[in-house]
Structure 1
Amino acid sequence: MPISERSGAPSTPGAEHVGLAIARSLERHGVDRVFTVPGESYLAVLDGLYDTAIHNVVCRQEGGAAYMADAYGRATGSVGVAMVTRGPGAANAFVAVHTAWQDAAPLVLFVGLIPAPDRDREAFQEFDPRAWFGSQAKRVFVLDAPERASEVVAEAFHAARSGRQGPVIVGLPEDIVASGFAGAIVDPYPVAEGAVSPDQLAALEEQLAQARRPLVFMTGEGWDAESVATLQLAAERLELPVMADWHATWRIATSSPAYIGQSAFGGPPHAVRALGEADLVVCVGGGLTDTATDSYRVAHAPGSRTVVLSGDAALRGHHGRVDEHLLATPRVAVQALAQLAARTTPEASAPAAAHDANGSAPRAAWSTELRADFLASRAVLAPSAPAGVASMTRLTARIADLFPDPIIAMGAGNHGAWGALFDSTSSPSELAPRNGSMGYSIPGATAAALAHPHRNVLALAGDGEFLMNGQELATAVQEGAAFLAVVMDNGQFGTIRIHQEREYPGRVSGTQVTNPSFAGLAAAYGAHAEEVSSDDEIEGAVTRALAAVASGQVALVHVHVDPAVLLPE
């Protein structure tokens, strides 16, 4: 009997229960992988997955599972799906919910709950999902009506993908998901992508034509490779410099003459100057946050205008003025820019006011100067490291030579500065939390390797960051996810040490750590392992590690660095 015709009879193993309805609904939404830590509270959903083609990636800790789901959603341009159990499991997953909330990443987290009759009795692992997640999720559902199971899944996915994307929680009471299902499997709800009207397009065209120092700020999720390529071509033709958000998943190629790098807290001077001097800022995909504006300290030039093209009607997180807000997803927004690029060029359209007295176009000079500054910011030196340590710059330079165009996964920490030295020609190019969360590198790289098995994938981790979710190497080995991990060991929480030296110089406190052998840990998990303690060990270690990755293994390089070198030399 079809699942939509079942009665509400109690479930038996293999029967068409609510858990199976949820699994079938995930299939209907195009989900091919879920990331889980099993729990008795949602056994019926695990049973339902057994009868689908959805692959269950079994993880080692709920934070790692939810991070993997978040990264998988970003890497594929879809919705990441994680499943965890009640109480402690939900608490462990909360870190990824906060990350997805602040980063506007689409994530659906299914959380097993106590049986409905046991509520408000301080039952084993009881908690209130709405109270816990209400301020950090777009919606929090609790499935209390078995027949609505598929409908709730559809509503959750729609909420995660629409407007400003983000996390959605679906609470699954243990007794409800084990009961019989009498409803119907619901198709996905369409998501509005917005539009740019002819009048709005004409106004944007006029503003671009008048601008002498325009800047495109590329941000947010909801991009795909085609949209990235469309923006790159339009920007190059219109001579528009493009700055990417810090830790942007999707960005144009670093080789593009339009690309001028990423913004960040205390970012490169040319990035700060670009925002401060631009007479027109066009934000595509979202707004200017505190990260992009260096904690709201960047002041816009007098008379500067800001146009935001995003799907978020509330413009949540945007800082500064807004002269025009066009409700459009990145895909729709870049199509509008492509229309302008197809019918005009700066030389043909720019009025006399946009040219100097000699007839040259200041826009071209502005864009060229920013591009040159970006290239100069990446031209770091690599002095030989002292005895007993190795140069992180030399190591990453060698990896960049032999392992081109990687998807780089990393969590928060000053080790991330070395990620900016890699060239990227394909999108997605980076998986990293913009909320400054640690522990993302190994789960993120695992997700990236599963999502894009034919791409090079690099996990860039600090010693403190690695130990927050390094156990997911076991998941990577189990899943056959092949990637290279580099662990930068400087025996400290380096970013906090930088702040500490600035605020309380000479008073190091609470930032130093004693580390294990990361190579030994990796080997114990079944990964290929290398340890580097001098520059002359770099070549052999990198060559062997990359050979292991090419053969389908995870490989880890544990590199001992000088604690005094906190940024690329």
Structure 2
Amino acid sequence: MSTKHAGQVIVDSLALHDVKRVFAVPGESYLAVLDGLYDTGIETVVCRQEGGACYMAEAHGKLTGAPGVALVTRGPGAANASVAIHAAWQDATPLVLFIGLIPVASRQRESFQEFDPQAWFGTQTKRVFVLDQAERASEIVAEAFFAAQSGRPGPVVVGLPEDVITQQIEATLHPVLPVAEGAVSAVDYEQFKSALAGAERPLIFAGGPRWTEQAAATITRFAETNGIPVIHDWRATDRVSFDSPVNAGWLGYGRNETAVRMFADADVLLAIGAVPTDVPTDGYTLRQAMDATNILVNIDTALRGRSGAVAQHIVATPAAFAAAVEDLDLGRAADWNAWRSAGREAQAEASALPNPDSLAPTAAGTAHMSVVVNEIVARLPRDAIHCFGAGNHCFWAQRYLPTHVFPSQLSVRNGSMGYSVPAAVAASLECPERLIVAIAGDGEFLMNGQELATAMQYGAAMLIVVMDNQQYGTIRAHQEKHYPGRVSGTQLHNPDFAALMAAFGGHGETVSASDQAAGAVERALVAVAEQRRPALIHVITDQQVGFA
């Protein structure tokens, strides 16, 4: 039997799990794994900060459904990566984070960069492994990937003591562990079919993990055939096409109020993948009645995050449920025309960009964000991928950027800033044939904008729009609500973002008047599509103009 060091066996196990790319910030604590990556087909994307690397892995998990893989070092590296672990935990994203650790003999001696992985990550991951026996290297990788994907997906941390991963071991690899999709039993099928068939106001609530492109297309056909309106969970609006006749909007911040009323008034709610958490239920105030008919199709047996009553729990992924309802026609589509049409009309109105001529003038030297977004939307292919993090700028992305196929929206539900640029890099590397558009705020961009260096190094190309209103806008809005006129701790002084992009080697332009938007967008898209360079449009906006 041939032998290899454990670091090489770990890499070989990643290849067995079809890992094509890892996102890393190097550290001396896991040199054996870096050595294992030397002679392999796995691409090592060297990032500039561990938070950016782990965000890229999280975005990869959302985009592909397979665990994104990040590699970081102990102590500070692990601390930086933790922001993306929290995002993956709340978004149920499959992710495996490998962290180099101190030698075993140095534990509990306050050694350089020592920390306890279980204490740090035990409450925000599905599993925390520490490889204390080199012989179990491949087994631990298999267990980590299984945990990250099975049931409700999520992040998994694997600690790698630097002395353990250098040990020579037998090179036998543990086989990949199969992940169950669940199923819709005959009893399940008849029960939810009967509930829907007898409903006066049925509603599908879509979101959550474990979707596939085929599942999204099948659920869309099922909803359209039966005339059942669909409302999406927030930051998950790519399950049913933007222009589908059953798309009635989404819940969460910035939603249209008709969607909220429909969610509250539906007599039968069929939640596929999503669960009614605090955000869609307006802080646990909607659909909380104990006699509400809520049918939850969810592979998570624990239904983590659920609130309100559950009339039926079908333990299945969206893909498994889609296969079960592919040919189901309840024959009542016409009965629900008025109910469905009200939601569709409200969503179409809410997602229609305002006519630029109807917008009030802004201060000299500023532009309307809506005008810039309008110019982008007019040029988008149907399969564009949109990335955004957290902040007021997200309203333009969430409300106006159309999502026609799954997956096409990468964002975070935990309000985590700094996501947009790393997510765009990961999306461009995975899907180079698709246009990637990232919408960022000035504060959000500067939290991980350094990953543009990573984009340039690995040939990632995307359009980034930075909305610059010289403030943390969301917090300023809360501040004005609770302490009006007392602006404190929310104002920013920003650099020339276009010049910054040029310094990285990309294409940068500044839009300081609305009539500059069309030309800037056109040139930026040429840079992305024809020159394969990242492009950034720096939009200077008026602080006094809110979301419109």
TM-score of the superposed pair, with normalisation by structure 2: 0.97
Structure 1 residue 174 and structure 2 residue 162: aligned? yes
Q: Is the 8 A contact 1:216 1:281 kept in 2?
A: yes
**Counterparts of 1:496 and 1:506 in 2: how far apart (Å)?**
13
Structure 2: runs of 5+ lacking an equivalent? none
Quote the residue 2:115 is aligned against: 127
Structure 1 residue 505 and structure 2 residue 484: aligned? yes
Matched position secondary structure for 2:81 = helix
Quote the residue 1:565 is aligned against: 545
Quote the residue 2:2 is aligned against: 6
Matched position secondary structure for 2:326 = helix
Quote the residue 1:346 is aligned against: 332
**Counterparts of 1:300 and 1:143 in 2: how far apart (Å)?**
44
Letter in 1 for 2:400: L
Letter in 2 for 1:296: Y
Please say which of residues 371-380 and 203-212 is displaced more in the overlay: 371-380
Quote the residue 1:400 is aligned against: 377
Matched position secondary structure for 2:393 = helix
Please say which of residues 489-498 and 385-394 is displaced more in the overlay: 385-394
- Counterpart of 1:258 (choices 225, 246, 249) is 246
Structure 1 residue 482 and structure 2 residue 461: aligned? yes
Deviation at 1:262, TM superposition (A): 1.7
Deviation at 1:326, TM superposition (A): 0.7
Please say which of residues 34-43 and 267-276 is displaced more in the overlay: 267-276
**Counterparts of 1:94 and 1:511 in 2: how far apart (Å)?**
25
**Counterparts of 2:331 and 2:47 in 1: how far apart (Å)?**
51
Structure 1 residue 385 and structure 2 residue 385: aligned? no
Quote the residue 2:431 is aligned against: 452
Matched position secondary structure for 1:340 = coil
Quote the residue 1:12 is aligned against: none
Letter in 2 for 1:317: G
Structure 1: runs of 5+ lacking an equivalent? 8-15, 348-359
Deviation per CA, 1:190-214, whole angstroms, max 9, x where unpaired?
1111111011101111001011111
Q: Is the 8 A contact 2:388 2:440 kept in 1?
A: yes
Quote the residue 1:425 is aligned against: 404
Quote the residue 1:472 is aligned against: 451
Q: Is the 8 A contact 1:249 1:432 kept in 2?
A: no
Letter in 2 for 1:135: T
Deviation per CA, 1:236-283, whole angstroms, max 9, x where unpaired?
001111111111174211111111122113632012111111111111
Matched position secondary structure for 1:372 = helix
**Counterparts of 1:298 and 1:507 in 2: how far apart (Å)?**
33
Letter in 2 for 1:122: E
Structure 1 residue 409 and structure 2 residue 395: aligned? no
Matched residue pairs, number? 541
Deviation per CA, 1:18-55, whole angstroms, max 9, x where unpaired?
11100000010011010000000001001101121110
Q: Is the 8 A contact 2:292 2:310 kept in 1?
A: no
Letter in 2 for 1:393: S
Deviation at 1:183, TM superposition (A): 5.1
Please say which of residues 443-452 and 264-273 is displaced more in the overlay: 264-273
TM-score of the superposed pair, with normalisation by structure 1: 0.93
Please say which of residues 168-177 and 257-266 is displaced more in the overlay: 257-266
Matched position secondary structure for 2:296 = strand
Deviation per CA, 1:7-28, whole angstroms, max 9, x where unpaired?
5xxxxxxxx2111100000010
**Counterparts of 1:345 and 1:172 in 2: how far apart (Å)?**
57
Deviation at 1:334, TM superposition (A): 1.6
Letter in 1 for 2:388: M
Deviation per CA, 1:460-515, whole angstroms, max 9, x where unpaired?
00000001000001101111111100000000111111111111112111111111
**Counterparts of 1:462 and 1:18 in 2: how far apart (Å)?**
43
Structure 1 residue 108 and structure 2 residue 96: aligned? yes
**Counterparts of 2:445 and 2:522 in 1: how far apart (Å)?**
22
- Counterpart of 2:349 (choices 370, 376, 395) is 376
Quote the residue 1:211 is aligned against: 199
Please say which of residues 211-220 and 461-470 is displaced more in the overlay: 211-220
Question: Which 4+ stretches in 1 moved above 3 angstroms?
Answer: 299-304
Deviation per CA, 1:70-117, whole angstroms, max 9, x where unpaired?
001111121110000000000000000000001110000000000111
**Counterparts of 1:90 and 1:180 in 2: how far apart (Å)?**
26
Letter in 2 for 1:134: G
Letter in 2 for 1:98: H
**Structure 1 pair 301–239 and aligned structure 2 pair: CA distance change class (3 A):** farther
Q: Is the 8 A contact 1:431 1:444 kept in 2?
A: yes
* Matched ranges for 1:115-264 at <5 A: 115-182=103-170, 184-248=172-236, 250-264=238-252
Q: Is the 8 A contact 2:238 2:403 kept in 1?
A: no
Deviation at 1:379, TM superposition (A): 2.6
Identity level (%):
52
Deviation at 1:226, TM superposition (A): 0.7
- Counterpart of 2:536 (choices 556, 559, 567) is 556
Letter in 2 for 1:418: W
Q: Is the 8 A contact 2:290 2:308 kept in 1?
A: no
**Counterparts of 2:176 and 2:544 in 1: how far apart (Å)?**
53
Matched position secondary structure for 1:177 = coil
Deviation at 1:535, TM superposition (A): 1.2
Letter in 2 for 1:196: V
Q: Is the 8 A contact 1:390 1:533 kept in 2?
A: yes
Deviation at 1:300, TM superposition (A): 5.5
**Counterparts of 1:214 and 1:35 in 2: how far apart (Å)?**
43
Deviation at 1:301, TM superposition (A): 7.3
Quote the residue 1:528 is aligned against: 507
**Counterparts of 1:160 and 1:286 in 2: how far apart (Å)?**
18
Q: Is the 8 A contact 2:437 2:464 kept in 1?
A: yes
Matched position secondary structure for 2:164 = helix
Q: Is the 8 A contact 1:286 1:315 kept in 2?
A: no
Structure 1 residue 69 and structure 2 residue 46: aligned? no
Q: Is the 8 A contact 1:19 1:177 kept in 2?
A: yes
Quote the residue 1:95 is aligned against: 83
**Counterparts of 1:470 and 1:28 in 2: how far apart (Å)?**
33
Please say which of residues 531-540 and 40-49 is displaced more in the overlay: 531-540
**Structure 1 pair 474–212 and aligned structure 2 pair: CA distance change class (3 A):** same
Q: Is the 8 A contact 2:97 2:158 kept in 1?
A: yes
Letter in 2 for 1:421: Y
Structure 1 residue 328 and structure 2 residue 328: aligned? no
